[in-house]
Amino acid sequence: MSMLDRAHSLSGEMSRLRRDIHAHPELAFEEVRTAALVADTLREIGGIEVKTNVGITGVVGSIGTGDGPTIGIRADMDALPIIEESGVDFSSTSHGTMHACGHDSHTAILLGVAHLLKQEFAKGTLRGNVRFIFQPAEEATNGRHQSGAPMMIDDGALDGVDHMIALHVDSTMPVGQVGLKSGHITAAVDSFKAWIRGTGGHGAYPHQGTDPLWMLIPVMTALHNIVSRRVDPMHPAVVSLGVVRGGTVSNVIPAEVYLEGTLRSYDAGVREQLLKEVEAAVALSRHFDGDYTLEIERGYPPGYNDPMVTKWMDAVATEIVGGDNIIRDRAGMGAEDFAYMQQKAPGTMINLGAAVGDFKRAHHTPVFAIDERAMPIGAAILAETARRFLAGEVE
């Protein structure tokens, strides 16, 4: 029986797990029920050493022969602060929280993979180990500005792991298609907060004080010109303002204006350049007798799919979905904290086509939904890649 056939026979089980998790979504670092469900399921499968509370609410399962190489497979578990309107009958029972990015299915698929690889190890043909990494908080950071992946890495979840693989469902790609790109796939993401300060004053007497709203105009112009005027056009980059806030009433010039924005890039040099240019832009306020405070929060590094691991997965996916159904050029300015794990162990994340197809069900929206028939495909690709790696069938 092929890996895909065996994955299909687990589709009822994966669907049950996914719907259970979907109905009980938990926000970042609060995945207590989900983590317990994961740990219980891994123990039921058997032969898997289970560690909980790794990276706060993460779970790590280990199976293998002890010696030989180790491959890690990652799924994220957290939901988003969104009120669900998907219309599915297993909708969120936790009002205001929703699995609107498919992490429920990632977790269910990885539990399916654990089933499949347990069966493989039982055959005695593999040498090496598999680490099942169930990660909290892909979508948000804690008080120390850390998301789930670095927290798990700090707790040793990736120690001894040679390569990492993972998948992400894609609600815009048809079931049966897979996105598999070598090299950069997601952007580095940093964010900034800036406070531009003047004295403020009476709206009728602007000349008596200094006006941060007026200073904001050159600052915003400069911010919006960073990408178009300062960055090498061959290198992708984005500077977007997400928040501009200042003032209370019409006749009072505020003393402070607040800005928040996101910075995206691939190239390490461009990443540093954006940070410097943002500082130069907000520093224009000083030119007009104002001042500023700037806080930079460094976020996820750029996601980089290791060419070798990508080749392994491409070979597997070619057998499972066919070469014509592999999209090899998809990259974007989105970000993924799996990138931290890729920095630690060369690895690859694939996109798994999971469009329901009835209408647009975009990620991070209340109507997000996936077609569960994608799950066995994803489980088979992950499990078969790990199997070949540990059977020495990869180049």
From the list 79, 101, 114, 227, which residue makes contact with other proteins (rule: CB under 8 A)?
227
Smallest gap from residue 326 Cβ to other proteins (A):
19
Smallest gap from residue 301 Cβ to other proteins (A):
17
Smallest gap from residue 283 Cβ to other proteins (A):
19
Told to check if 323 binds other proteins by CB under 8 A, we report no
C-alpha separations of 9 from 6, 132, 156 in Å: 5, 21, 34
Q: Segment near other proteins (CB under 8 A), from 11-19, 73-81, 325-333, 371-379?
A: 325-333
Smallest gap from residue 302 Cβ to other proteins (A):
13
Bridge partners (DSSP) listed for residue 134 = 59, 75
Binding mask 235-264 for other proteins (x = CB under 8 A): -xxxx------------------------x
Rank residues 113 and 239 by Cβ distance to other proteins and give the closer one: 239
Smallest gap from residue 10 Cβ to other proteins (A):
37
Q: What is the DSSP string of 268-323?
A: HHHHHHHHHHHHHHHTHHHHTT-EEEEEEEE-PPPEEE-HHHHHHHHHHHHHHH-G
Tracing tokens 């609107």 back to the chain, one arrives at 100
Specify whether the CB–CB gap between 289 and 295 falls below 8 A: no
Residue type at position 118 = K
Rank residues 66 and 233 by Cβ distance to other proteins and give the closer one: 233
Rank residues 2 and 221 by Cβ distance to other proteins and give the closer one: 221
Crossing angle for the helix pair 103-123 and 374-390, to the nearest 10 degrees: 40
Cα dihedral across residues 358, 359, 362, 366: positive or negative: negative
Specify whether the CB–CB gap between 320 and 376 falls below 8 A: no
* 328 CB-side CA count, 13 A: 13
Rank residues 54 and 270 by Cβ distance to other proteins and give the closer one: 270
Binding mask 186-225 for other proteins (x = CB under 8 A): -----------------------------------x--xx
From the list 23, 50, 294, 331, which residue makes contact with other proteins (rule: CB under 8 A)?
331
Rank residues 141 and 182 by Cβ distance to other proteins and give the closer one: 182
Look at strands 129-135 and 291-298 and give their pairing: unpaired
How far does CA 318 lie from the centroid of its chain?
25
From the list 12, 124, 143, 233, which residue makes contact with other proteins (rule: CB under 8 A)?
233
Bridge partners (DSSP) listed for residue 260 = 193, 243
From the list 95, 234, 249, 251, which residue makes contact with other proteins (rule: CB under 8 A)?
234
Residues that bind other proteins (CB under 8 A): 221, 224-229, 233-234, 236-239, 264, 331-333
